[in-house]
Amino acid sequence: MSRIKYRQALRDALREEMLRDERVFCIGEGIGERGGSYKVTDGLIGEFGPGRVIDTPLSEAGFVGLGVGAAIAGSRPVVELLFIDFLLLAMDQVVNQAAKYRFMSGGQGHVPLVIRTQGGAGNSLAAQHSQSLEAMFVQVPGLKVVMPSTPADAKGLLKAAIRDDDPVVFIEHKLLYMTEGDVPDEESVVPLGVADVKRPGDDVTLVAWSHMLTKCLTAAEELAAEGISVEVVDPRTLVPLDIATIVASVRRTGRLVVAQEAPRRGGVAGEIAAEVSERAWDALRGPVVRVAGRNTPIPFNLALEQASIPQIADIVATVRGVVGARTPVA
Amino acid sequence: MSRIKYRQALRDALREEMLRDERVFCIGEGIGERGGSYKVTDGLIGEFGPGRVIDTPLSEAGFVGLGVGAAIAGSRPVVELLFIDFLLLAMDQVVNQAAKYRFMSGGQGHVPLVIRTQGGAGNSLAAQHSQSLEAMFVQVPGLKVVMPSTPADAKGLLKAAIRDDDPVVFIEHKLLYMTEGDVPDEESVVPLGVADVKRPGDDVTLVAWSHMLTKCLTAAEELAAEGISVEVVDPRTLVPLDIATIVASVRRTGRLVVAQEAPRRGGVAGEIAAEVSERAWDALRGPVVRVAGRNTPIPFNLALEQASIPQIADIVATVRGVVGARTPVA
Amino acid sequence: MPDVDIDLLERMYTTARTIRRFEERAVEQYRVGNIRGYLHLYLGEEAIAVGAIAGLEPDDYIVSTHRGHGHALAKGHEPGPMMAELFGRATGYCGGRGGSMHVASGALRNLGANGIVAAGVPIAVGAAMAVRQRGGREVVVDFCSDGSSANGVWHEALNMASIWDLPVVFVLENNQFAVSTPISASARVARLSERAAAYGMPGITVDGNDAVAVHEAMREPIRRARAGEGPTLVECMTYRHGGHHVNDPGLYLPPDELQRWKAHDPVDVLRARLLASGVPAGRIAEIDASVEATIEEAVRFAEASPQPSVEDFLAEVSAL
Amino acid sequence: MPDVDIDLLERMYTTARTIRRFEERAVEQYRVGNIRGYLHLYLGEEAIAVGAIAGLEPDDYIVSTHRGHGHALAKGHEPGPMMAELFGRATGYCGGRGGSMHVASGALRNLGANGIVAAGVPIAVGAAMAVRQRGGREVVVDFCSDGSSANGVWHEALNMASIWDLPVVFVLENNQFAVSTPISASARVARLSERAAAYGMPGITVDGNDAVAVHEAMREPIRRARAGEGPTLVECMTYRHGGHHVNDPGLYLPPDELQRWKAHDPVDVLRARLLASGVPAGRIAEIDASVEATIEEAVRFAEASPQPSVEDFLAEVSAL
Ligand SMILES: Cc1ncc(C[n+]2csc(CCOP(=O)(O)OP(=O)(O)O)c2C)c(N)n1
Ligand SMILES: Cc1ncc(C[n+]2csc(CCOP(=O)(O)OP(=O)(O)O)c2C)c(N)n1
Ligand SMILES: [Mg+2]
Ligand SMILES: [Mg+2]
């Protein structure tokens, strides 16, 4: 085990996969000498050269499409989008091309493409650089969607994504790059579709992913002090979704809260709520409750930005409400 | 009242709004002399000229962006996308620009833009011309989403959309254009955000929109013969969603089925299920159940295409299962 | 007149004739209900696929369009499984899942037709990047259309291909219309090949109804691409013989213009070249008869082929 | 040297100096934590906004970019509410909701900065369409960047503006870098203005550090646009004085190149022109002092301004 940063874990995964398989290459804006906005590709151009670490023009649809074509023709591209907000420029290539190619070609072709990108609010980057757009990709048949919350998951899941034969949207969070965690020294590939119970508990199940997971762990800690035992489950990959682990937890606790940074309306929390309600109706002691972002573009001003996405206090209050307060609330 | 086709109702709405307000114009591919693929703009160029009925090059992002700019600068554009699948080429303009402009500008600016488009399966048009993508837009704060199921709603809602000061994604269905219905002769604007109970009933609430609504009405008829009384609610607009009408119905019936053509995963049915479960938990006699499309790109072959989206028999079977069969099932 | 090998000429004629008869029979099969959905016909444009692909090696790639039957047949797809795909049958190239707009074959290195205009262009550039990275010598021929050149991704893709000297040739099939919109209403340039200059790329325009002219024009672009010297834009002028798809009567096509182009029919041009090269009419009749038999066989194959299994499909789907 | 009205020259100098000092103070305010988020500086590029807007009428529109402070100030935005927006305060142009990347003003006809490169280009074309449809005579000036010209929507928008002869002028600010990527790595043309030919549009290149040269170069494009004769692409060559944004040291900028451009500073060029036109140094010092006071006042205004109300925000939101 080594204690490393999330961004370092991602870099290690890229490097190890590029060493292991010469079909892997990286392409994106400013990922070469500059090493990427968040330094995830730092130094890779020195090791692998400009033929495998490629700086592009500002042509998002074009270079995502390039990734699709390269993947079909035998490469294993890792395409970086600086912000998930910019992936909106390339939706045709993601949704109409990458996601459908295997199916439309009758299974002859496949698209081993990873789209690495970054989302979320928290740095006053305003409405066009702060979105949580995972639900847009979760709903598209043919795509996998990965959202790691820890350095170990980031590394292990990125490796799995690169080795996967289908297109994967791999979404990092801008507030996680500098967070640290233990990462195994030996090779460790985290399979797609396996949830991780990040904290065991008995009274209520709390599902969250990416940066919201870290807020939920803090909330669980606070709630423990009140005598509320929270089981925190991190699905890690939203597609495929390990619904079995979530349902098993809910069957024990009888209660489910799902927390997401994305706006409430149309988010993945609703999907999980609906799915669990159908599968574990008999075990539920009350409705699945969502803690989610407001239905608003993210504001620039810091206080407004914070008010627009769930904070630890919101999670604590919601869970408390669901469980029924054990200690008097001030 | 006159009995007219859905496509005629849309055309009448466009024509009347263009007569009423000279800021309204239409732009899209082949909408001029050709009158659009589904003949919705038939003859309008003759009446309003090529300055207000504009044929574009194949530049979807560009002409949606043009619509955004024209709307900000004082026009009221109705931009037509031949297929909703092609709107994926213009997602930046829809999501990052149109939806956020009012908010980002601190309320100074607004974007009275209507994007008229068409979705759904059923004509063997295969994976890139058959999608039901409403959930992509429902989740975006700042957009309104309208999906009429009848000629009267099509006309009244299109008028409301054009008069609305915010961007509206107006989604028609390729199988509805030739359907007929009664439409008021006098002007009738259907406000956004008001659901319509298309068939009253007592045993179970069935929510559906667009073409799925027509299947649900047939299913309800069949179920009536078995003694199951189904209330069919058409939200008509997914944003704003008239959740109150749906919840009121569920409070009476105690059961809810939501039917959608879109793939189950990440669809609007899940959102409605989650929302109703939170609001009417005490009234529900069982979980909200979804009837939805399979998690697959739409296949070309007719039998596979039909197998990939809910058919009337699927709705009937699901509702029967939810209510508990009243008559023996063969 | 360029000096062309008679064998090659015969092969080109056979292919052009095969595409022509394949589509004429497909129209007939559409009318009787064996084919559904969109069917975009290549009638009148056959010389482009034939001429552009004639100089390729089997390992070279093509990227096709929504009007892709000709590209696929010229690249070696068999008419039987092609027709079966149009019928939506299990024996089709995509097992009936794709249909006319999505024909593709990994083995034949056709990366696919596409229902989204221009979307194939960056895909072609990506394939060229994959070739470059593995040190391959294959070339990618990207078929694209006049309409596609107004689309953003066309611009982005041509620019990237140029700055990285990728081994791709862009074959722009300028049939002068996007559905009913004439190219003159969508572009203010006399020739679309002029747009190549915006990427520092050579651009040429050629008679797209003369397969030999197309073949000749492709020599240098293919050589350049294979030698790592970069991409070329080859605009091929042509015209549809009818509407945008099987159900569009195409009444907006100016009749005199249509007549002029029909009089310059790609199959006739090749036949005339064969005759001029001394190939006897009897030999041509033999070819025609054999094409006829092949296509008849293809139609019978498609008709006799099973529908895809719904159960298999549903089983696949749950895994998605 | 072109013959310029002294008043105009003084106004241009004042504006350039205002932009310069506004941003220098903004950097300082960023360092002390009053400004957060992205801050893309226009330092070194001021002459373009100044020269391009000097010939506009108040009703004309501009569309701005992520590097938009200069455009806004030149179009008449007041430094106080501008600074307040950068601070995220309630008194800012967007009530603190937008920040540096989203400054806009309906009243001043600035359709907005934009966080998405190239996204403003079709928006500008749309504004021009709105003007055309209401029979207006306003012109739209679209500021765009070298990086944006690689983006698909730039291509689509320029093409549409051209085929419809819309009243728009595309002012391409070529600062020769997109973040750290030199334009030479992204384009194979010597001048980006050559790309105008792909749309049958005039394209010119001008010294973007000389406001007078930009102003002169804009005359004919603005006249053409207003007369309904169509758009023009005006490429203005320039260079950033530092990194891509306030936190980027820009070490990748070749030092000699940077030095050469710094020696050709837009504010200095205007000052030299004033002196050469006989304006006394004392008058220039007066202008400088008044700019200084204005900006000091703007900073004080921003500092003293209230934060936006969270309650109001939450109330608005539920309506969305
Ligand atoms: C991005 C996109 N926009 C629109 C369409 C609908 N459409 C299909 S073919 C076509 C016309 C295409 O014209 P062109 O590109 O010249 O190709 P051609 O049909 O003439 O071969 C249109 C508008 C589409 N399939 N994809
Ligand atoms: C579509 C898009 N891609 C990427 C970015 C991230 N980004 C912001 S500015 C920038 C560089 C832009 O360079 P250029 O267009 O030349 O403008 P400049 O910053 O030089 O003024 C990049 C890559 C973005 N904001 N939008
Ligand atoms: Mg065409
Ligand atoms: Mg630049």
Encode pLDDT of D159-184 as tens digits. Answer: 999 999 999 999 999 999 999 999 99
Question: Which of these, B67, B64, B10, B17, lies nearest to B42 by C-alpha position?
Answer: B10
Average pLDDT over residues A42-46: 97
pLDDT of residue C320: 46
According to the model, what pLDDT value does residue D316 have? 86
| A275 contacts B288? CB cut-off 8 A | no
Side by side, which strands form the sheet with B256-263?
B196-199, B230-234, B204-207, B256-263, B289-293
- Residue B9: what residue type? A
What residues of B are labeled active site? 60, 129
User: Cα dihedral angle (A30, A32, A34, A37), rounded to 10 degrees?
Assistant: 50
- What is the CATH architecture assignment of D6-319? 3-Layer(aba) Sandwich (3.40)
- Label residue B329 by pLDDT band (50, 70, 90): very low
Atom of ligand 1 nearest to the CA of C147: 15
ipTM of the complex: 0.98
CB contact under 8 A, C310 and B126: no
Q: Is the pLDDT of residue B327 over 80?
A: no
- Answer whether the bond into residue D79 is a cis peptide, omega within 30°: no
Counting residues of chain A whose pLDDT is more than 70, the rounded percentage is: 98
Q: What's the pLDDT score for residue D2? A: 58
The answer to whether residue A269 scores a pLDDT higher than 90 is yes
Question: CA-to-CA distance for D194 and D154, rounded, in angstroms?
Answer: 14
Say what the pLDDT of residue A326 is.
61
C149 has pLDDT over 60: yes
Residue of D nearest to A90 (CA): D152
> Which pLDDT does position D320 carry in this prediction?
46
- Is C2's pLDDT higher than 80? no
Q: According to the model, what pLDDT value does residue C316 have? A: 86
Summarize the confidence of residues C244-268 as an average pLDDT: 97
- Cβ-Cβ contacts under 8 Å, C195 against chain D: 198
Q: Confidence class of residue D4 from pLDDT cuts 50, 70 and 90?
A: confident
Amino acid D296: pLDDT: 98
Number of residue pairs across B and C with CB atoms under 8 Å?
112
Round the average pLDDT of chain A to a whole number and report it.
97
- pLDDT band at residue D319, thresholds of 50, 70 and 90? low
Q: What is the band of C1 on the pLDDT scale with cuts at 50, 70, 90? A: low
Amino acid at A171: I
Q: What does the pLDDT read at residue B330?
A: 42
Residues of chain B contacting residue C179, judged by C-beta atoms under 8 Å apart: 29-30, 34
- CB A61 within 8 Å of CB B92: no
Looking at the complex, does the CB of residue A55 fall below 8 Å from at least one CB of chain B? no
Instruction: Give how far Cα C31 sits from Cα of C36, C37, C233, Å.
Output: 9, 12, 37
Nearest residue of chain D to residue A122 (CA atoms)? D37
Vertex C290, ends C288 and C294: CA angle to 5°? Answer: 115
Average pLDDT, chain C: 97
Segment B137-160 mean pLDDT? 98
Model confidence at B325, pLDDT cuts 50, 70, 90, reads: low
Q: How confident is the model over D62-79, as a mean pLDDT?
A: 98
Q: Return the DSSP state at A240.
A: S
Type of residue found at D171: V
Nearest of A87, A126, A86 to residue D38 by alpha carbon: A126
pLDDT score, position A329: 42
> What is the Cα–Cα distance from D202 to D188, expressed in whole angstroms?
19
Question: pLDDT tens digit string along A146-182?
Answer: 999 999 999 999 999 999 999 999 999 999 999 999 9
pLDDT digits (tens, 9 = 90+) for A88-112: 999 999 999 999 999 999 999 999 9
Q: What does the alpha-carbon distance between residue B167 and residue B153 come to, in Å, rounded to a whole number?
A: 19
Which single residue is written with the structure tokens 């199959």?
C267
Chains adjacent to D (≥3 CB pairs closer than 8 angstroms): A, B, C
Candidates 2.30.30.90, 3.90.1150.10, 3.40.50.800, 3.40.50.920; correct CATH number of A196-323? 3.40.50.920
User: Residue B29: what pLDDT?
Assistant: 97
Reported as a pLDDT band with limits 50, 70 and 90, residue B191 is: very high
Band the pLDDT of D119: cuts 50, 70, 90: very high
For residue C174, report the distance from its CA to the centre of ligand 3, in Å.
6
Q: Is A51 on the interface with C (CB under 8 A)?
A: yes
Cα B126 from chain centre: 20
D242 lines ligand 2 (CB under 6 A): no
Looking at chain B, the domain(s) classified CATH 3.40.50.920 span 196-323
CA-based nearest distance D278→chain C, Å: 44
Crossing angle of helices D79-87 and D281-304, in 10° steps, is: 40
Q: Which two tokens stand for residue B131?
A: 């999608």
Q: How confident is the model at residue A288 (pLDDT cuts 50, 70, 90)?
A: very high
C159 part of contact set with chain A, CB < 8 Å: yes
pLDDT in tens, B78-135: 999 999 999 999 999 999 999 999 999 999 999 999 999 999 999 999 999 999 999 9
Is there a contact between B304 and C310 (Cβ–Cβ < 8 Å)? yes
For the cut 50, the answer to whether the pLDDT of residue D12 exceeds it is yes
- Which element (helix H / strand E) includes A180? strand A180-183
Running DSSP on this structure, what letter comes out for residue A191?
Answer: P
pLDDT surpasses 60 at A7: yes
**DSSP output for chain C:** -----HHHHHHHHHHHHHHHHHHHHHHHHHHTTSS-S-----TT-HHHHHHHHHT--TT-EEE--SS-HHHHHHTT--HHHHHHHHHT-TTSTTTTSS-GGG--BTTTTB----SSTTTHHHHHHHHHHHHHHTT----EEEEEETGGGGSHHHHHHHHHHHHTT-SEEEEEEE-SEETTEEGGGT--SS-GGGGGGGGT--EEEEETT-HHHHHHHHHHHHHHHHTTS--EEEEEE---SS-SSTT---TTS-HHHHHHHHTT-HHHHHHHHHHHTT--HHHHHHHHHHHHHHHHHHHHHHHHSPPPPHHHHHHHHHT-
Q: 10 Å Cβ neighbour count for A8?
A: 21
pLDDT over 70, % of chain B? 98
CB–CB of D73/D285 below 8 Å? no
Terminal Cα distance for chain A, rounded: 42
Q: Among the options A17, A29, A60, A80, which is catalytic?
A: A60
Who's near A4: CB < 8 A, 6+ residues apart? A12, A151, A180, A181, A183
pLDDT of D271 above 70: yes
CA of D162 to the centre of ligand 3 (A): 20
Asked if B323 and B289 count as a contact pair (C-beta separation under 8 A), the reply is: no
Given the residues A17, A29, A80, A129, the one annotated as active site: A129
A136, A142, A296 member nearest B139 (Cβ): A136
Tell me the torsion sign for CA atoms A182, A186, A189, A190: negative
Class of domain A2-183: alpha beta
The torsion angles phi and psi of C179, rounded to 5 degrees, stand at 50, -110
Are D119 and B108 an interchain contact pair (Cβ–Cβ within 8 Å)?
no
Question: Which tens digits make up the pLDDT trace of C49-93?
Answer: 999 999 999 999 999 999 999 999 999 999 999 999 999 999 999
